[in-house]
Structure 1
Amino acid sequence: MSSKADPTPHYFTRRETGFDPTGLARNPWFADAVAGGPISALFGHIIETAGFDPGFEICRVTIDILGVVPRSLLTPTIVPVRQGRQAQLYRIEMRAGDKMVAQAHVLLARQLDTPAFPTPQSHPAPEDVAEDNFLIGASMAGAIKTRPIMGRVREPGRGVCWMRMDGEIVLGVPTSPFVKACLFADFGNGVGSATHAHEWSYANLDISIQFFRKPRGDWFLLDAHTEGAGNGHAVAQSVFADADGVYAKGTQTVFVGPGRPRP
């Protein structure tokens, strides 16, 4: 957790071999586990600092959560999968001890000047929306600010919200818009949930982000909803935008199970 000597909220501390989660990275469902958002953001940090060829653009990041991620030292390994002239693919394996607990695949395409055909973004700008406590308890000790347009976490239905994160993912490392975007990509199944959490849970099993471009600025829009066929799983679908327009679209595979009664 943050201290008086270090007031900046953060999810991880860098160690010699990996990353040590703080209490702010805690999973809300399991006392000694790490939540999906911090894991996704940590992968974003690793991707950004990996030193990939600057002539290639990140066009897809997929993350698989391979069970409960323990709140212990997490060690990443980057494995090249494809090294082509037009596309490159890497796998990042995240281990707790000897066990792989999560993995990410990063697809990069060669940067070229091509025609643009952007997705329309019709929501009001963040400065035109009032700030409110949209996330209910997932505010990273106040570092995450929200300006909701539609819906609310823990209420079924489509959710639309501007978000801003002023903390750090890794202590002492300024958080870039790309890493913040990876954090918010995990929020779709909560912002756009289809059920009440006390009736049916909606834990995500993976995160997939298709980037049109790198995000920019401080405020990030999430427009999310969930659809399913009533057979134990569903798909949370998200549109991500910044002040300049839509920068990505994403999905999460959601495991639907019996909820937990409220205290």
Structure 2
Amino acid sequence: MPSAPAYFERLDETRFRPTAHVGGAWNVDEQHVAPPIGLVAHVIEQAHAARSPHPMQLTRLTVEILGTIPMETVEVTSSVLRPGRSIELADGTLSHHGRPALVARAWLQHTRDTTALAGSAYSPMPSPDDLDPVDPTQMWPGGFIASVGEIRSRNLETGRGQAWIHPTVPLLAGEPVSPTARLVALIDIANGITPRADPRDVAFPNLDLTLQLFRTPGEGWIGFDTTVSFSGAGLGLTATVLHDEHGPLGTIAQTLTVRPHSS
């Protein structure tokens, strides 16, 4: 599949073709779920904007990963579950040949001026200039990992680390995408930023992703303050506080299934 300067190319109202940049890390012949999750968020936002004269901000996105996605055309649809003047609940589904692979629900809210109340007790991250450049392709294969742009990170201990990523590949060719959808198209990478185990020895894919935002993300660097936990029973959790260059902006949680390759 030839490379292209975006993760997806739109074919029609609901169908999208992945480019080589979407290639997965667990299996290079499958899609990494990060760009498809971003695509679902984009379609949810588009559908909402088409029916609302005053578009709202996506503040929570929950995604269930129902199966793998081949490097082939996918269909994405969205509908409103709970309409409202100030709060709305919408859903989105990404399917391949009629089989749902991702299902998502999103809360969207109208914004208002609460500048006098703004603040967060989440710890700040060091700036990108204070962290070291890294090459994630030394550990992870696939077109998506190779495409994510500049990465600066530090490991604090096993399963605990911080990273800044400056994405360079747009989600869709020739189509504007919101800062939120741009962020969503990257954040599933959190599970591989500071792994507790070498992925060549242990598989730990996530079954889901829950994003919660308390403000609109910026356009530049995206920061990940991440902690990975494994139990002794094959269960795991990756928890991340998201940042941009203005400070913390939300959280991610990913449920893991931990599978040593020898078992």
TM-score normalised by the chain length of structure 1: 0.86
Determine whether 1:193 maps to 2:190: no
Gaps in structure 2 of 5+ consecutive residues: none
Q: Structure 1: how far apart are the matches of 2:111 and 2:7? A: 32
Corresponding residue of 1:39: 36
Corresponding residue of 1:122: 124
Q: Structure 1: how far apart are the matches of 2:123 and 2:214? A: 14
Q: Structure 2: how far apart are the matches of 1:109 and 1:45? A: 16
- Greater shift, 82-91 or 198-207, is seen at 82-91
Corresponding residue of 1:22: 19
Corresponding residue of 1:98: 98
SS in 1 for 2:109: strand
Q: Per-residue displacement from partner, 1:173-203 (whole Å, max 9, x unpaired)?
A: 3554322311232012111322222332110
Determine whether 1:49 maps to 2:46: yes
Q: Structure 1: how far apart are the matches of 2:142 and 2:100? A: 26
- Residue among 122, 143, 148 paired with 2:153: 148
The total of aligned residue pairs comes to 254
SS in 1 for 2:159: coil
Q: Displacement, 1:55?
A: 4.9
Q: Displacement, 1:30?
A: 2.9
- Superposed, which structure 2 residues align to 1:1-263 within 5 Å? 8=5, 10-16=6-12, 17-52=14-49, 53=52, 54-114=54-114, 115-134=117-136, 136=138, 137=141, 140=144, 141-150=146-155, 156-259=158-261
TM-score normalised by the chain length of structure 2: 0.86
Q: Structure 1: how far apart are the matches of 2:71 and 2:137? A: 22
SS in 1 for 2:171: strand
Conserved in 2, the CA contact under 8 Å of 1:134 and 1:147?
Answer: no
Q: One-letter code of the match for 1:88? A: E
Q: Displacement, 1:86?
A: 4.1
**% identical equivalent positions:** 27
SS in 1 for 2:232: coil
CA RMSD of aligned residues (A): 2.5
Q: Structure 2: how far apart are the matches of 1:29 and 1:120? A: 32
Q: One-letter code of the match for 1:60? A: R
Higher helix share: 2
